[in-house]
């Protein structure tokens, strides 16, 4: 718990055009040609994005370090070298059909804040750091938020290095070496004085209520499972329906159950089957094997556990009914996180001070800030997502909202780092 800082009253503002320019230029790296981005963690496209942001960090004269899991931290020194840094940041990896704001905003707004302060000749007692963490999305290597989890000591480095990609099976440690981001700094890393992350909401709430910004109170718990169903491949024309052990049908039953479960339990329960793969995956063969993922999220740990239990019971009954076997591997499991009350209050007060409407809200998505919250006071600032669209090339946040978020980030960071001149 940090001492409750007061929001900074100042006329200092970020350069919104410069921020937007950097977002656009980074968005061209791994562009999908439809306004979106595909920079899956530790791919060549991710390397190109990293190289670009790292060059920008160096251009600003920041001290840049890369740690053993590929997290990159750029630091502007404080006047008191003994004090822990105030850190902001997020991630620059994307899902395969990502937008240009998710993650990138928090990193580039952090850079924009440091450039604004440097240009204005403002120094702080504490060092100010901006970080981007490896593999936040978890699309290529599970669990998600892998880099920040390792940074805070929640996952052993060696264990993280041995994780294999879901797409091509590549080992994470090898991929880090391959793209040149297996750095020398140790994991776990330096514990910040506090951490704040600016991020797009990725949901419809702020836009629907006409509110500029969110002060994030915490993050939903996440349960990711991979289910593997083994049935029996057979001829689609000659095998009577009653004789089938159809792994594809069982996968479909789980996918519809998961939707029914979330609907029955009601908000804030959400549940998704985003990945299904059949084998041999042919039109005229009853599937022998199916792999699918289930993503369950809830703000309450007890409720999340209950959803997991209901799914397990359904799978057990389904396996018996269909004569298939169903095994489950937990890909990621994070309990709900509550952010530091003083940090939440600081975000809220800073937004109000700058004339923006703001509401407290929890996050439906996982974020690096929830990992940092394990070791230091943390919170987040949300900007509206038009239509609630996220993980989609059509993801969009209005420039005025991006700038508002960056200005609140500026205010929060200087309040925490204590301006000396």
Q: What is the DSSP string of 267-305?
A: TT-EEE---EEEES--TTEE-SEEEEEEEEEESSHHHHH
- Helix (H) / strand (E) containing 131: strand 128-132
Segment 193 to 212, residues that bind its own copies, using CB under 8 A: 201-204
Which span sits near its own copies by CB under 8 A: 47-55, 91-99, 151-159, 176-184? 91-99
Where does this chain touch its own copies (CB under 8 A) — which range of 19-27, 115-123, 189-197, 253-261? 253-261
139 lines the binding site for its own copies (CB under 8 A): yes
Smaller CB separation from its own copies, 104 or 202: 202
In the region spanning residues 276 to 315, those forming contacts with its own copies, defined by CB under 8 A, are 276-288, 293, 295, 297
**Nearest to its own copies of 59, 260 (CB atom):** 260
Cβ nearer to its own copies, comparing 238 with 421: 238
Question: Which of positions 41-80 make contact with its own copies (CB under 8 A)?
Answer: none
Smallest gap, in angstroms, from Cβ of residue 380 to its own copies? 13
Total number of residues that touch its own copies (CB under 8 A): 73
* Phi and psi torsions of 193, nearest 5°: -65, -40
Spatial distance between the Cα atoms of 344 and 217, rounded to a whole number of angstroms:
6
Nearest Cα to Cα of residue 50 among 71, 81, 76: 71
Minimal distance, residue 318 CB to its own copies, in Å = 11
Q: How far is the CB of 326 from its own copies (least distance, A)?
A: 15
* In contact, 41 and 139? CB cutoff 8 Å: yes
Cβ-Cβ contacts under 8 Å for 128 (sequence gap 6 or more): 75, 76, 78, 85, 86, 87, 88, 113, 114, 117, 413, 417
Binding mask 350-389 for its own copies (x = CB under 8 A): -------------xxxx---------------------xx
- The answer to whether the CB of 96 falls within 8 A of the CB of 46 is no
Record the tokens describing residue 321, joined without a space.
């009914």
| Min separation Cβ 232 and its own copies, Å | 7
Number of Cβ within a 10 Å radius of residue 111? 25
SS3 228: strand
Contact segment (CB under 8 A) with its own copies among 121-129, 252-260, 339-347, 352-360 equals 252-260
Question: Please, are residues 56 and 111 in contact by the beta-carbon 8 Å criterion?
Answer: yes
**Window 257 to 276, contacts with its own copies (CB under 8 A):** 259, 262-263, 267, 269-276
**Least distance to its own copies from the beta carbon of 8, Å?**
30
For its own copies, what does the binding mask look like between residues 23 and 42, x meaning CB under 8 A? --------------------
- Find the binder of its own copies among 220, 350, 370, 397 (CB under 8 A): 220
Residue 105, phi then psi, degrees to nearest 5: -55, -45
């Amino acid at each position: 718990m940090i001492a409750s800082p007061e929001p900074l009253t100042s006329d200092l503002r970020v350069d919104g055009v410069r921020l937007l320019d950097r977002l656009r230029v980074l968005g061209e790296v791994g562009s999908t040609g439809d306004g979106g981005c595909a920079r899956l963690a530790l791919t060549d496209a991710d390397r190109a994005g990293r190289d670009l942001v790292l060059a920008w960090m160096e251009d600003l004269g920041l001290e840049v370090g890369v740690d053993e899991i590929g997290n990159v931290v750029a630091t502007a020194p404080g006047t008191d070298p003994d004090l822990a840094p105030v850190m902001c940041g997020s991630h620059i990896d994307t899902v395969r059909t990502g937008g240009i704001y998710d993650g990138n905003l928090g990193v580039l707004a952090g850079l924009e804040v440091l450039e604004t302060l440097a240009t204005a000749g403002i120094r702080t007692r504490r060092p100010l750091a901006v970080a981007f963490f490896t593999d936040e999305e978890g699309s290529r290597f599970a669990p998600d938020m892998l880099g920040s989890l390792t940074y805070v000591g929640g996952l052993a480095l060696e264990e993280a290095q041995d994780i294999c990609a879901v797409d091509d099976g590549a080992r994470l440690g090898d991929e880090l070496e391959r793209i040149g981001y297996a750095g020398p700094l140790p994991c776990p890393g330096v514990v910040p004085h506090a951490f704040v992350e600016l991020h797009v909401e990725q949901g419809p709430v702020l836009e629907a209520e006409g509110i500029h910004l969110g002060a994030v109170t915490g993050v939903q718990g996440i349960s990711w499972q991979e289910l593997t169903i083994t049935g029996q491949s057979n001829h689609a024309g000659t095998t009577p329906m009653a004789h089938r052990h159809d792994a594809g049908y069982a996968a479909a039953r789980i996918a519809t159950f998961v939707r029914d479960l979330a609907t029955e339990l009601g908000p804030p329960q959400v549940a998704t089957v985003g990945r299904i793969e059949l084998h041999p995956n042919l039109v005229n063969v009853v599937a022998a094997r199916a792999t699918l993922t289930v993503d369950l999220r809830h703000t309450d740990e007890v409720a999340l556990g209950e959803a997991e239990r209901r799914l397990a019971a359904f799978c057990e009954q389904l396996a018996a009914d269909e004569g298939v076997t169903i095994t489950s591997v937990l890909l990621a499991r994070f309990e709900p996180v509550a952010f530091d009350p003083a940090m939440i209050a600081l975000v809220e007060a800073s937004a109000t001070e700058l004339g923006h409407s703001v509401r407290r809200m929890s996050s439906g998505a996982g974020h690096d800030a929830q990992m940092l919250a394990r070791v230091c006071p943390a919170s987040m600032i949300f900007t509206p997502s038009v239509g609630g669209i996220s993980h989609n090339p059509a993801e969009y946040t209005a420039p005025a909202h991006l700038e508002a978020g960056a200005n609140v980030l500026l205010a929060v960071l200087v309040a925490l780092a204590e301006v000396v001149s």
